[in-house]
Amino acid sequence: MKESNLKYSCLIAVLYFGMNVNAQTAKKDTTAKEQKIEEVVLIGYGAQKKENVTGSIGMVSAKDLADKPNANPVSSIQGKLAGVNITNTGTPGGSPRVDIRGVGSLTGKTVFIVDGMITDDISFLNPQDIESMSVLKDPSSLAIFGAQAANGAVIIKTKTGKGKPVFNVNSYLGFKKVTNIPKMVNSDQYIELYNEKIKNDVLNPKPSDFISRSNYPADTNWYNEIFRTSIINSNDFSATGSIGKLNYYGSVGYLQDEGNLAAGQGINSGSGFNRFNTKLNLSYKITDNITIGDNFSFSKMRTDVAQNPLLDAYNAPPIFSVMNPATGDYQFFNGYSIPNPRAKLDLYRSQLRQERLLNNIWGELKFLKDFTFRISYSSDNYSPSQYEYTPTLNYVPVSSQVASSLVTRNFRNRNYVWDNTINWKKNFGNHHFDVLAGFSRTRTSLSQDYWSAKNVNYDGTNGSLNIANGTDLLHVTGVDRVDLTVDQDQQRIESFFGRINYDYKGKYLVNASIRRDASSQINVDRARVFPAVSAGWVVSKEDFMSNQNVFNLLKLRASYGELGNPNVGRGYTANTSIIEGGVYYGDTGYPAQTVDKFIDPNIGWETTTGKDVGLEMALFNNKLKIDAAYYDKDSKNVVYGINQGTVSGASNWNNFVTNAYSFNNKGFEVSVNYNTKLSEHVTFGIYGNFTSLKNEITSVYGGSYLETGASLFGNSIVRLQSGQPVGSYYGYQVAGVFQTDAEAAASGQPGAKAGWFKFADQDGNGTIDSRDKTFLGSPIPKGTYGFGVNFNVYDFDIAVDFQGVFGNKIYNYNREQRFGNETWDLDMYNNRWHGAGTSNTNAMITSNQSIIVPSSFYVEDGSYFRIRNIQVGYNLPKSLAKSLSLTKLRLYVSAQNPWTSFKYHGFSPEITNTDRVQMGIDNNIYPISAIYTFGMNLTF
């Protein structure tokens, strides 16, 4: 990326509208004091004036990332960009899921290009180090990255330095609190429901089958036992400037997030996260034509991985105490297959430590006046290590006690990207050419050492968790072991690419690119070519628009592009199973290995083609800006499993993996931004964006389908089938509740009685069976939106952001997965059927498997509306700051996620399963927290 272009990128937010991440700093002529600034947008392997961009690119400035209490920078832009759906995770240090214009693949992720390095995880990156982001949304913008960008790409440029030394200190301190905690029954209500269940399920119950309050005096709120209000704190220092021909930016930062799981009562360390990071960006101008540079970052992270007790707290009956008053040890739930949530949180210990070093060395040579050659080598050395320790649980019966176990995993990720580009820029009168040609090579390498041992004694220090201190040692390295989730892999991609940007008088714009990728991951048709073309017409520069004073910019654009995804599982070694006693020597049987799966050795590229038509407008002296687009994207040959029910003898008859699926994403998106100056000391800004999305599986290999995802009693929740959205739920449609036994007997529903769900007879044959299952809803939102306002009044600033989704469904798997005596939520108590006429929505209290099957009862509305951020700041007057030898001092208070409106019976409708197929299933999800902070920005 040329330094001459990039030096303007720091001006991206100069004409920032409200909290608008799409604002354009176009030319303004309202006063003689205002500069004429042309906004520069980051594109693949370069930069371009925003006015000349013909693709669809969302822009994020440093201002949108600053002062937000999020470890991951992407979390801060939720609701800020049309076409970009970000689903945050409540887990400290966790990475959000990013879907750009729908689901592009079932296995891939959006990639981030950080100073030339390609990665799918930026949890290591300090938001304060980012200068700008460009979110590439349409295939014509993404095509220059080819195989790397099939699921979308975000280009991130970190800060650089120039000029006199400037120092910045940013710090905030806050607290996190879990909100919207589900209301569960108390002990009296639980006992009432338990005894009611016995009457419903047991034909002739005995008095001893029932329970009473006298035998269970406890009344425990298990959520109160595992949650706490926690502290979050961040401190960053940076320095930027020049020393002669050397430009520099350096920073150091530390973030600590204690997490909301209440740790410290046992050997567990909770769910805390901390990160130390340092950044150093250097560029040195050797001559007028030669510049070299280095972008270096190092991070060290620690995550305490509690064995998430949330589902256990949801299921645990309130009639049990945390501690057994007789023994002083943890209470064992005798007769219940539910662990003590507090014991599980305290006694299990796991910790993930990560060190990551990214380094980008680059050089740039200008020659023959119009040519620039750039070479860039980026390395990513990532070395996580994790241990998982489970002690002997002495409070359970001796017959159930097992030896303590320790598992350690040491990962080694060694990745590099080597880019070489030649850029030619030339003007011939009104004809402007920008031509790029390049070669790129990437390699990702993963290896893992796995160790396990039993009978390891923990004395309170990490040093005691040593594999060598245990027995029954097992060591695995250098091979894949699916049963132990041990992976070894290496992937390589080699690419040639080119691009032409042409414009005539800045009015007629054309962008064309082509890329040839060859991937080691593909066995056949290893190399593929991916073209793209886009065009634009800046109508506002036409002569017939010269006398109007409404439009500062009016541009039409259209694009088409193709992409490919080679990052698909091949499974060459995963087609065997171990048979105990499979081979005999004499009378003794020994384990043997046999082929038991069908494997497709010729899995090929997933491909994506997309079309985009857009309109950009800036009106009324750039006060109002509108960007609207229609997109249509097809993913083909998507790799995932299908049902091969006609095949016998194969263990994967119901999950044969191949290039099986095609699906389509289409919709509209619009961003509107308005900014005005109400007086000399008062400004006002407002922004809004909206995206619609329709997702549909358009074809499945062989006309087949796949039933997958979470399941209970052999009934899967998700079905992938042509004509339905990805991740659609599949089960029985509840048509009410039987009020009498006579009504149930006449229904054709086997075994039904009063109080059971009444399932709809979909095929009309008078009998309820699996043929009456139907699709119950989709986890994919039909629409997402965000809007916000801000005021600047003298030295005070106020900003409020709102965000929401609608049209999606959540499968409340927490409610469904009952095996016996789990507890109930308060809604179930209040709305259950317990006699004719008492309810037509909730069934009676039962553990009967004929009722607890996938059905519409567990499918709930996932729509929500949220106040995403409120922030109030105060800037020290410039005169006072100057007297203190300061350039700027700003103090602020903020609230993130302080209020959310939704109907879902759970913590939050924001479900963060990274698996796209199960993206809407709530199965022990870590909740989103409200975060309240006080912070400071200091510049001197």
CA atoms within 13 A on the CB side of 133: 28
Which residue reads 């080819």 in tokens? 146
Residue 266's pLDDT is 58
Please choose, from the candidates 130, 99, 174, the residue with its C-alpha nearest in 3D space to the C-alpha of residue 871.
174
Res. 36: pLDDT tops 60: no
pLDDT of residue 461: 79
**Up-side HSE of residue 851: CA atoms within 13 Å toward CB?**
25
Listed in order, strand segments (DSSP E) in 258-332 are 273-285, 290-304
Q: What amino acid occupies position 72?
A: N
pLDDT of residue 12: 29
Distance CA 736, CA 744 (A): 11
For the chain, give the number of residues. 940
CA–CA dist 337, 352 (Å, integer): 29
| Phi/psi-derived region of residue 330, left when phi > 0, alpha when psi is between -120 and 50, beta in every other case | beta
Q: Which of 918, 923, 920, 899 is nearest to 910 (CA)?
A: 920
- DSSP one-letter code for 486: B
**Contact assessment for residue 208 and residue 195, using Cβ atoms and an 8 Å cutoff:** no
Q: Where are the alpha helices (DSSP H) in 166-262?
A: 187-201, 222-226
DSSP conformational letter for 481:
B
Distance (Å, whole) CA 115 – CA 519: 23
The pTM of the full predicted model, rounded to 2 decimals, is: 0.90
pLDDT of residue 568: 77
Q: Over the chain, what is the mean pLDDT? A: 89
Residue entry with tokens 């979909």: 762
Query: What type of residue sits at position 448?
Result: Q
Residue type, 82: A
- Among 569, 499, 491, smallest CA distance to 530 is for 499
Rounded-to-integer distance, Cα 842 and Cα 844, Å: 7
> Given this model, what pLDDT does residue 50 score?
87
Q: Which helix (H) or strand (E) holds 791?
A: strand 783-793
- Which residue from 605, 623, 551, 532 is spatially nearest to 43, judged by alpha carbons? 532
Q: Which amino acid is at 375?
A: I
Per residue in 345-355, pLDDT (tens digit) is: 888 889 999 99
Cα gap 553→551, rounded to integer Å: 5
- Give the confidence band of 570 by pLDDT, cuts at 50, 70, 90: low
Distance CA 89, CA 929 (A): 9
Residues forming beta bridges with residue 777, ordered by sequence position: 729
CB 553 within 8 A of CB 51: yes
> Worst-scoring range by mean pLDDT, 21-35, 60-74, 231-245, 919-933?
21-35
Closest CA to 102 of 77, 82, 122: 82
Vertex 690: Cα angle to 688 and 692 (nearest 5): 180
Decide if 727 contacts 710 (C-beta within 8 A).
no
Structure tokens at 531: 């073209």
Per-residue pLDDT tens over the stretch 741-770? 999 999 999 999 999 999 999 999 999 999
Q: Which of 140, 160, 130 is nearest to 43 (CA)?
A: 140
Q: 915 or 779: which carries more pLDDT confidence?
A: 779
* Residue 181, burial from CB neighbour count under 10 angstroms (0-12, 13-18, 19+): middle
Compute the distance between CA of residue 474 and CA of residue 486 in angstroms, rounded to an integer: 13
Structure tokens at 256: 């600590």
Report the C-alpha gap between 757 and 765 in whole angstroms.
18
The CA-atom distances, in angstroms, between 103 and each of 256, 632, 768 are: 33, 12, 34
Mean pLDDT of all residues in 47-61 = 90
| Tens digits of residue pLDDT in 236-253 | 999 999 999 999 999 999
Which has the closest alpha carbon to 450: 473, 429, 421? 473
Distances 473 to 384, 391, 898 between C-alpha atoms, Å:
21, 16, 49
| Whether the predicted pLDDT of 276 surpasses 90 | yes
Q: Which tokens go with 401? A: 């006690």
> What is the rounded CA–CA span in Å between residue 143 and residue 530?
7
pLDDT of residue 642: 93
Beta bridge partners of 930: 177
Residue 209, both tokens: 């089958």
Per-residue confidence at 597, pLDDT binned at 50, 70, 90? confident
H or E element that contains 766? none
Contact 685, 789 (CB under 8 A): yes
